[in-house]
């Protein structure tokens, strides 16, 4: 069975306070985008030569026991005594980008296993497993525009549609780990009310909506503000870093030819849903 785990962007990201459990309370809007991996799971693979996990496309550098697809499988295997499976992940969403690729892969693994083995897991049960795997995972159980609070598990659906807008995502050669991004951030009460701000015309968002990670990561990685500035220069209505970076996206009213505009970077463009 095959599925297509998609990426997400963050529209605004307010880091409000550090929690006693080591996480941070945040406020952000998650929005799905059509940049996708390809995930295939085979139950009881008949070919003994199939590896338990095969990775094509972008090569993953984490050990198998840290791989979120494997961790998702182990969670369900323990409870439901699942048989061995073969997982093939063709990786397209870049790592260390703030696009939620690993989290999406994990949740789509849970959903595939639920379907393949007819486990009958309701969405709230999938969400419980998702939260065990990572804070961003919870969003992908909904996979539609939401405002998220807490560590990402307190959600409300928002009336926000960017259907028909074009998006360009640019990621430089380097990635930024979540640990690195949070280690230098200074939590604070935000003056930005995201729910109100997203109801204003998108052209006003640059004045109202910020990603708190940009303040220190742009100083540390000067290439990031240059990418953002170029996106605005070529006509973006709004541009921002996604999550903890290093991907920067721009939202445009019109389609653009971006050939050779961002040499050495991963570049993807698509239409918002």
Q: Output the 3-class SS for 175-224.
A: CCCHHHHHHCCCCCCCCCCHHHHCCCCHHHHHHHCCECCHHHHHHHCCHH
The reply to whether 219 belongs to the active site is no
pLDDT in the model for residue 88:
97
pLDDT in the model for residue 193:
86
- Name the superfamily (CATH) of residues 161-271: GHMP kinase, C-terminal domain (3.30.70.890)
Measured distance CA(165)–CA(250) in Å, rounded? 10
Domain 2-156 in CATH 3.30.230.10? The answer is yes
The reply to whether 254 belongs to the active site is no
Domain span(s) for CATH 3.30.70.890 in the chain: 161-271
- What is the pTM for the complete model shown? 0.94
Measured distance CA(133)–CA(120) in Å, rounded? 20
Each of the 273 residues of the chain gets a pLDDT tens digit; together they read 999 999 999 999 999 988 888 778 999 999 999 999 999 999 977 776 777 899 999 999 888 889 999 999 999 999 999 999 999 999 999 999 999 999 999 999 999 999 999 999 999 999 999 999 998 999 999 999 999 998 888 899 999 999 999 999 999 999 999 899 998 888 888 777 899 999 999 999 999 999 999 999 999 999 999 999 999 999 999 999 999 999 999 999 999 999 899 999 999 999 998
pLDDT in the model for residue 65:
86
Measured distance CA(123)–CA(139) in Å, rounded? 12
Q: Which of 37, 71, 91, 136 is catalytic?
A: 136
Peptide bond into 146 cis (omega under 30): no
Domain span(s) for CATH 3.30.230.10 in the chain: 2-156
The 3-class secondary structure across 37-104, one letter per residue, is: CEEEEEECCCCCCCCCEEEEECCCCCCHHHCHHHHHHHHHHHHHCCCCEEEEEEECCCCCCCCCHHHH
């Amino acid at each position: 069975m095959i599925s297509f785990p998609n990426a997400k962007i963050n529209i605004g990201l307010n880091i409000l306070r550090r929690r006693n459990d080591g996480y941070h309370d945040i406020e952000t809007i998650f929005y799905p985008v059509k940049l996708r991996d390809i995930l295939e799971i085979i139950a009881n693979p008949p070919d003994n030569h199939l590896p338990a996990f095969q990775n094509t496309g972008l090569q993953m550098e984490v050990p198998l026991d840290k791989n979120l697809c494997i961790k998702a499988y182990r969670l369900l295997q323990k409870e439901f005594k699942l048989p061995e499976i073969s997982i093939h992940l063709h990786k397209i969403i870049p790592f260390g980008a703030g696009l939620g690729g690993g989290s999406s892969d994990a949740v789509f693994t849970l959903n595939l296993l639920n379907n393949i083995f007819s486990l009958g897991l309701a969405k709230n049960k999938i969400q419980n497993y998702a939260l065990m795997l990572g804070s961003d995972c919870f969003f992908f159980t909904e996979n539609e525009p939401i405002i998220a609070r807490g560590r990402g598990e307190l959600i409300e659906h928002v009336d926000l549609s960017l259907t028909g807008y074009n998006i360009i995502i640019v990621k430089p050669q380097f990635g930024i780990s979540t640990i690195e991004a949070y280690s230098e951030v200074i939590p604070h009460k935000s003056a930005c009310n995201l729910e109100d701000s997203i109801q204003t015309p998108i052209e006003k968002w640059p004045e109202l909506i910020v990603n708190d990670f940009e303040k220190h990561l742009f100083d540390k990685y000067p290439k990031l503000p240059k990418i953002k500035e170029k996106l605005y220069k070529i006509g973006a209505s709004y541009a921002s870093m996604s999550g903890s970076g290093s991907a920067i996206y721009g939202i445009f009213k019109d389609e653009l030819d971006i050939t050779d505009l961002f040499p050495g970077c991963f570049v993807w463009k698509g239409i918002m849903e």
